[in-house]
Structure 1
Amino acid sequence: MRSRTWLRRAGAIACAGAVLAGCGTDSSDGLSVAKSGGDASSASTVDPAALDTGSYPTSPAPEFGRATKDNILDVETQRLAEFVVVPFEVDPNLVTAKMPTMVIRSHENLNSVLSGNAADVAKTHGMLYGYVSTAATSTTAVTDPSRSLVQMVLRFENADDASAAAQEMHTGLTTVDTDGTGVETPETIGILPNTLVSTSEYSYSAGPEVSVNAFTAHNNYLLYTWAKAPADDKEWTAEAVARALDLQGPLIDQFPAQPTLAQNGGEPAELPMIDQDKILLYAIPEGDEQADSGNDMASYGPRGMAHRSINPPLTYRVLTEAGSDHNAVYKTNVYRASDDAGAQMIVEEFGNDLTSQGYVEAPSPQGLPDAVCLSKDTTDGTTDYCLVANGRYVGEAYGTDDKKDVDQKISAQYLILEQADQNAE
């Protein structure tokens, strides 16, 4: 399944985060966007009675209430995403999202990010949770040289544990084990005296490459950056690490983390609301709450959405400019702009982006001419994608080889948004 949010279930590509671009009514190259609301001349021509919504709900979900011990890690890791640097912020050419890009709910998740003893070290030092984001430069062939960056933030109970974990993970990468692993070369980056650095050089199909691992303890957080580039571009890896840390430190300092028992004087702090921004209740829910391993049933800001977008810079810019600070990711996705014009901008910008990638206009669902739908034939099947604006809100639905299902989802989504609070803050 392909969508603007790149990665959702089982490594498939999803479409949330930077919607279709190509929907401007004034552009001969773009798709026409029918507008909901506004004056009589732009009134919607939706026929609610004609909509086929299948078995999907057509009303908002009940409010979610507060997090529980069973789902607080999901809520916290999703909130953390907004305070983790997106790779394109380090280098504007890092625009192709890769795995691992996900919430870190357990030390076991670190096996997808780091080799060696990292997972065991995190467990020993009581890692609480984290978030990791990965991207690379765009290439046309596997053999093309490229740059890549992994940016991860892990939260620990205290600064001592974060510092000890950083040192032990670094040691694990730079110490030769009995199986021959752990052969990174310790190095230093002069402008980063508090960062533990190691490098590795190896041959690849694109030629010789160099990678750098960097661990930095920052209060009770461990900041990790991995950068890879062609061997003759080694200087870039050091510059990328320095830039990432320059951005990440101040950003993570802004994260309003849920207090631990120790931080709250030994008393349990009241758990946060699951849907703090009251937007998730407008998205169509998944039948399986763990369908995306904690990455969905979520509310993300522009940066959080950008991590998993197929065009991170565009997603971040458009959602920021539209004032879409709160965006729901579930079976469908919902964006809430600051005003109706912002919602229209989301549809237009996201649509133009996808049409530039080979998507073509597809029929709107019956009774819903306001919806903008696109499709593209891929090696994984035909990807179908629809957007619809309703006042300040934009609904987004997508799927593979099942246009009827996508039409039903976007139709149900439209009816839900008819009941959304257009004055929400």
Structure 2
Amino acid sequence: MRGTNVMATTWMPRAAAVLCAGVLLAGCGGTDEPKAGSGGDSAPTVEAAALDTGSYPTSPAPEFGRATTDNIIEVEGQRLAEFTVAPFEIDPELTSGKMPTMVMRSGKNLGVVIGNAAGDIAHKHSMLYGYVTTAATNTPNVTDPSRSVVNAVLRFGNPEDAAATAREIQTQLTTVDDGAGIATAQTIDVLPNTLVTTRETASGAGPTVSVNALTPHGDYLLYTWAQAPTGQKDWTAKTIAKAVSLQSPLIDKFPAQPTKEQNGGTSAEFPVVDQDKILIYAIPEQDAQAKLGDDMAAYGPRGMAHRSTNPPLTYRVLTETGSEHNAVAKTTVYRAQDDAGARTIADEFANDLAAQGFTAAPSPQGLPDATCVTKDTVRGTEIYCMVVNGRYVGEASGLDDKKDVDQQISAQYLILEQADQNV
């Protein structure tokens, strides 16, 4: 799929290094004429003995079990992604993924979204975790006028802390100059419970207007930021209203882990890390912080779309093919409802990569049914490889190292040969 801030069609692999190369973005790794996947009657012959898998594992990982006190924050944040409205759902033109798009593991993380003071306020009120997603309209040049949205859901231990955080951040924005000027308090008629501020600034693309909106919603604080050229101020207000109208009912569906206080003073059973047993089939990251809490996760279609280079396509394809849980680690693994669905995922993502200018690259030795593509970018040479096995699609990616990507997808192929097709 491609990753946010991204590159081509997959997730965002190594957070700082390769923005999209990871495997969560839709369409990662294909050509105009994708090859038949493993297991089909027309599939080329795989030479297992010839596969170079490097030091990567070639068997599924042990089952992960339930979350622990060490990783519950990351797991809850990852689960929250599926219940965080994606920018393209607010405005279909918001398809260019940006940062910050990530799990928020503490109130301090709000500092990179709103500002350090806001992060301190959220931390003071014991924010538990959150998820933030960001996107802009596509423009030919970075200096061209564009519209952007940041949408975040922040969970607190109780409604009082969520509401107090909103009030104090609003006060901070309207009384303290953080270098961008003091914001002006505003109102949006259809959002009487939302605290709103606006600010006009100059930029290389011309003057812009930005709107901050803070909406307490039970234990949650919904934060939406919209920016547009000054002449499109009405768009920012309508966009904020649309975001809140979508996010409020969606977060009500989130099966959040109850706090000890909410559970009568005892800890509730933690959620399962690997929903539907899909993460065991992805190659794990060696660096636990490689994606800053966003990997080693099972995401649904919306969760995958947040960090995709083509969010609407990713969401549509994964939804239509019944790929309800998708694994994100060193590699990405999708599992469709049936074999035809897996082929559809691979074909749609491959065609999308071709449309982005990726060209065919050699398949790894011994694995002729893997589809690989490459493209030279300002970050270096991006490489994606994809392989299909029954209901599963495995995806590997990297930057400037085709041998490593070949080893990843070769190891991924051997793991998928052992995957449960009937789960």
Do both proteins adopt the same fold according to a TM-score greater than 0.5, normalized to the shorter chain? yes
The answer as to whether partners of 2:385 and 2:406 remain within 8 angstroms in 1 is: yes
Mapping for residues 16-415 of structure 1, pairs under 5 Å? 16-20=23-27, 30-38=32-40, 41-115=41-115, 117-176=117-176, 183-415=182-414
Cα distance between partner residues in 2 of 1:20 and 1:120: 38
Residues in 1 aligned to 2:107 and 2:306: alpha-carbon distance in whole angstroms:
21
- 8 Å Cα contact 2:29/2:385 also seen in 1: no
8 Å CA contact retained: 1:75, 1:298: yes
Q: Which moved more, 1:343-352 or 1:41-50?
A: 41-50
SS in structure 1 at match of 2:34:
coil
Question: TM-score, normalization: structure 1?
Answer: 0.95
Range that drifts further, 249-258 or 167-176? 167-176
CA contact (8 A) 2:12 2:24 kept: no
Structure 1: how far apart are the matches of 2:119 and 2:282? 34
Unpaired runs of at least 5, structure 2: 1-5
Question: What letter matches 2:171 in structure 1?
Answer: T
Would the aligned equivalents of 1:19 and 1:347 in 2 still touch at CA under 8 Å? no
Specify the code of the residue in structure 2 equivalent to 1:350.
F
Any idea what SS the aligned residue of 1:246 has? helix
Given residue 13 of structure 1, which amino acid in structure 2 is its aligned partner? Answer: L
Shift of 1:116: 5.3
Q: Quick one: which amino acid aligns to residue 222 of structure 2?
A: L
Residue 196 to residue 96, structure 1, CA distance change in 2 (3 Å): same
- Give the distance between the partners of 2:189 and 2:401, measured in 1 at CA: 55
Q: How far did 1:19 drift?
A: 4.0
How far off its partner does 1:208 sit? 1.1
Q: Which residue is equivalent to 2:19? A: 13
SS of 1:42's partner is coil
Q: CA deviation at 1:182?
A: 6.1
Comparing 143-152 with 270-279, greater Cα deviation is found at 270-279
Find the aligned partners of 1:48 and 1:328 in 2 and give their Cα distance. 24
| Offset, 1:31 | 1.6
Corresponding position of 1:27: none
TM-score by length of 2: 0.95
Assess, with a 3 A threshold, how the Cα gap between structure 1 residues 22 and 348 changes in structure 2: closer, same or farther: farther
Separation in 2 of the partners of 1:122 and 1:300? 26
Give the aligned residue type for 1:34: A
CA distance in 2, matches of 1:32, 1:368: 14
Paired with 1:121 and 1:10, the residues of 2 have a C-alpha distance of 27
Query: Any idea what the Cα deviations from partners look like across 1:130-187, whole Å, max 9, x if unmatched?
Result: 000000001111221100000000000111111111111111111135x776610000
CA distance in 2, matches of 1:131, 1:5: 19
Which moved further from structure 2: 110-119 or 203-212?
A: 110-119
Q: What is the Cα-based RMSD across aligned positions, in Å?
A: 1.6
The answer to whether the 8 Å contact 1:46/1:369 transfers is yes
Q: Deviations over 1:40-84 (max 9, x none)?
A: x42452121111111111000111122111111110000000000
d(CA) in 1 for partners of 2:119 and 2:34? Answer: 50
| Secondary structure of the corresponding residue to residue 404 of structure 2 | helix
1:5 deviates by 3.5
CA contact (8 A) 1:31 1:361 kept: no
Contact 1:116 1:181 in 2 (8 A): no
Distance, in Å, in 1 between the alignment partners of 2:51 and 2:26 is 23
Tell me if structure 2 keeps the 8 A contact 1:52–1:366.
yes
Of the structure 1 ranges 85-94 and 379-388, higher mean CA displacement relative to structure 2 is found in: 379-388
The AA in structure 2 aligned to 1:168 is E
Q: Distance in 1 between the 2:28 and 2:72 partners?
A: 35
Give the Cα separation in 2 of the matches to 1:181 and 1:300. Answer: 36
1:381/1:87 CA distance change after superposition, 3 Å: same
Give 3-state SS (helix, strand or coil) of 1:254's partner.
coil
Partner amino acid, structure 2, of 1:409 = Q
Instruction: Read off the aligned partner of 2:77 and give its amino acid letter.
Output: T
Change beyond 3 A, Cα 1:293–1:180: closer
| C-alpha distance after superposition, 1:315-338 (max 9, x if no partner) | 111111111111011001100000
Other-structure match for 2:3: none
Q: Is the 8 A contact 1:201 1:209 kept in 2?
A: yes
1:37 counterpart letter in structure 2: G
CA pair 400-116 structure 1, distance change in 2 beyond 3 A: closer
1:4 positional shift? 2.4
| Residue identity in the other structure for 1:166 | A
Check 1:6–1:412 CA distance in 2 against 1; reply closer, same or farther (3 A cut).
Answer: closer
CA separation of 1:86 and 1:375: change in aligned 2, threshold 3 A: same
Any gaps of 5 or more consecutive residues in structure 1? 25-29
Q: Deviations over 1:245-268 (max 9, x none)?
A: 111011101101001011101111
**Deviations along 1:343-380, whole A, 9 cap, x unmatched?**
00111100111111110011111111111110001122
Per the TM alignment, residue 7 of structure 1 is displaced from its structure 2 partner at its CA by 3.0
CA distance in 1, matches of 2:33, 2:42: 16
Cα deviation per residue 1:184-241 (whole Å; 9 max; x = unaligned)?
0000001111110000011111111100000000111000000000000000000000
Structure 2: how far apart are the matches of 1:108 and 1:85?
22
Aligned partners of 1:22 and 1:31 also within 8 Å: no
Aligned length: 416
